Amino acid sequence: MTNSIPHKKAFRKMIWRSFSQSAGINSETMQGLGFGYAMLPYLRMLYQGKELEDSLKRETQFFNTYPGSIGFIMGVTAKQEEEQATAPTAAGEAQITQLKIALMGPLAALGDSLMMNLFRVILTVIGIDFAYQGNLMGPLFVLVAFHGTYLWLRIQGSFLGYHKGPLFFQSFLDDGRIANLTQWLTQVKLALLGFLVYRGIQVPLPDSLQGINQTVSAMFPNWLGLLLVIVGVGLGRKTWGRKGLLVLLALLSFVLAYLME
């Protein structure tokens, strides 16, 4: 995939430097300083003197996106900078900045929703199930699967952005593939969370209530665990908040433990 990239070594260096993207984060340009630092090796291959200075100023402007998406945007930007270096125009300079701004918002939202809110949760639920069985593979599976996918996105996204350009991402939005993937991952996440409730949340009851529990459990296995989760989600969203809910659950655990003695 690197065959058609004129400055392969600088391109690879650009990718590796992107991992320090958030090291220079600040309130004015957010990740802009890190983006410019990552782009610098490639810019040096394209420009000299005042042109290099202008291009670096352009690439250190405000920038903020999901870290896993930066590779795709860098690839697109590198291609745009090549075209600008070959045939420099004022419109070309403006287009580079506008394209970065147009991509960083949608890709940030996509990365947060797919990777952090869906994919990470799915992997965590699978890892927790391994942990319930006393298997050390639980946390290792989550770390390797999530960060391996993250690294693949950052590295391969750079080449994809360079070769395919922004229209590749737009085609995914237009034909509904992103929406279908989001819907499918949401359904998988909810199904796995339901399994986790059944598997791991056990609510003990006194002996006097075991008869009722067994009758209801014949129709709805682990109904108390499910009820606890539903009530907890409702309280966490409207009344108690997450911290208050954790305190409530801790107190409830102490009370139930005392009653079961």
pLDDT at 222: 67
- Cα distances from 105 to residues 10, 24, 101, in angstroms, run 27, 20, 7
Q: Which residues have CB under 8 Å from 69's CB, separation 6+?
A: 103, 104, 107, 108, 110, 111, 153, 157
Helices 8-17, 32-46: axis angle to 10 degrees equals 170
Residue 151 tokens, joined: 């690294």
Query: Largest Cα–Cα distance in the chain?
Result: 84
Residue 70's nearest CA partner among 18, 114, 106 is 18
Q: How many CA atoms within 13 Å lie on the side-chain side of 53?
A: 2
pLDDT at 143: 92
pLDDT in tens, the chain (261 residues): 555 677 888 899 999 999 988 888 888 889 999 999 999 999 999 999 999 999 999 999 999 998 888 988 999 999 989 988 888 888 888 888 888 888 888 888 888 888 888 888 888 888 888 887 888 888 899 999 999 999 998 899 899 888 887 777 666 666 666 677 677 777 777 777 667 666 666 666 666 666 776 776 666 666 666 777 777 667 666 666 667 777 777 787 777 667 666
Give pLDDT tens digits for 54-100: 999 999 999 999 888 898 899 999 998 998 888 888 888 888 888 88
Residue 198's nearest CA partner among 226, 166, 177, 171 is 226
Residue 63 dihedral angles phi and psi, to the nearest 5°: -155, 135
* Global pTM exceeds 0.85: no
pLDDT at 118: 82
Residue 212 tokens, joined: 């009722």
